[in-house]
Structure 1
Amino acid sequence: MSNDLVTIPVPGAGASLKAVQADGKEWASVTHVCETLGLDSKSQRRKLHEKPWACGVMMTLQVGGQGREMFMVDRRTLTMWLATIDTNRVAAEARPTLEAFQNEAADALDRYFHQGGAINPHANEHQQKALMFELRSQMELAQAAKGLIHSDFLEAKARIILARGMGEAPELDPSTKPLYVQSFLKEKGLSKKQLSAKAPGFGKRLKNQWTKSHGTAPQKAPIELSNGRIIDVYGYTEADRPLMESIWNTHYAA
């Protein structure tokens, strides 16, 4: 069993997974995810032990030249476990990271170990070229979108793309970090049904208020959903959070 713990950046999270490949599987550290999100790792481990779908093991891995015991789960368990964590159970500052983990962690794990993403030092030449082609295409798309998409939003997306190619976590100005309406509303603890009901009206109010404040309508940006479908959404950033909070408090908080 390999004990080489690797760091895998997760797009949009500003944080990383710690993972290892062993026994023909990829394993992610629950311990590190809990530390990143401010969760109690022992209680999360007990919770997973009670789930029939969970596959977890204790491993002694090298961290900073010293052995450390960690609770690790396979890719499938990682995805299902992250989905069970309510954003309201973590601190407000950790919610964007949790949402990014929920959306991107499993794919980041796959890219690293199977596509040479992020970049895996064991990736073969074909995998590295494929990844570079993908990242170059994304950067060209971002370049072509200048003038069509809010510059702050576009800069944040470009930093995420570059970080993926360099195997690092993106360094984002907090105020320019992308903030989607769906993500903001999820932070409020809405169910899927409530989210579907409230999102259109909230988005319309936000667009109107944003247009009044800036003298022009917000610009749209393409995002890729977990199912691979690409849709256009308004490219708001963290700088727009106060406006979102104002609309929420005025029309929805009660």
Structure 2
Amino acid sequence: MSTEIARINLSAGAVETVMVDGEPHVVFRPAVEAIGLSYPAQLRKLNDRSWASRSDIATTGADGKTYRMVAVDVRTFLMWLATVNEARVAEATRPLLVAYQRETASAVNDYWTQGGAINERATDDQLDALEQQIEERRARRALGLIQIIAAMDDSVDPRWKRSRQLHHYAEATGEVPEIAPEDRALLVETYLKDRGLSRDECRAVRSPFGRQLVAAYKLEHNGQAPKESFGLVDGRERPVKSYTESDRPLFDKVWKAFFADRYPAQQQLGGAA
């Protein structure tokens, strides 16, 4: 039996989706090729990731024939997006990549689970039941993310994994996550903003600051490089080096040694290092 494909419009382009075992999935090939990447290469990369969840589905083409296609759940699609190097994407297709990163989860979820609207004649009991369903879906999504994070390999910082799992557990249970201050993630982007740098200054300084920070981290940790994690950079989830608030003195040391003289006003805004 073939699977119905639903094309969901985004602010730029669209994404093709299907339901698999009651869960919304993204059809992988058209999404990959729409941003100009090699589907075989990206599929191989996906198959090598322990967190990836894929399904082979039967779909009916325009010629009436049945074809096999790969679909991935929304969590896997978002994790894959975080590994896409923006520099490898043509400038003309970057708006679609941004739309994928920012809009896919909510657009797909709303289409398949909410139908895009609520019946204005719904009774209080129906609205209560709908609210309960939404809470249950949110909890299932959070618990699914916990499982994905747990399955990540050793290249991902265990401190980051633990803090994100606590965050999603709290999201599932409605509690406040108990994360020790020294274990909270510290991004280069966040640190530079704390220093008072503008958006353009952050973009200019981010890479050289990051390189000096990695070098300083290795000196303090017997040649061991910082592990990987994921964080918001320019509003998008991307792979980043993993640091926590316990590393802030090292950030201050690198700033003072290499950047403070170039940004004296920001040095004052950020406080004494």
Larger RCO, structure (CA 8 Å, separation 6 or more):
1
Question: TM-score w.r.t. structure 2 length?
Answer: 0.45
Rg: which structure is higher? Answer: 2
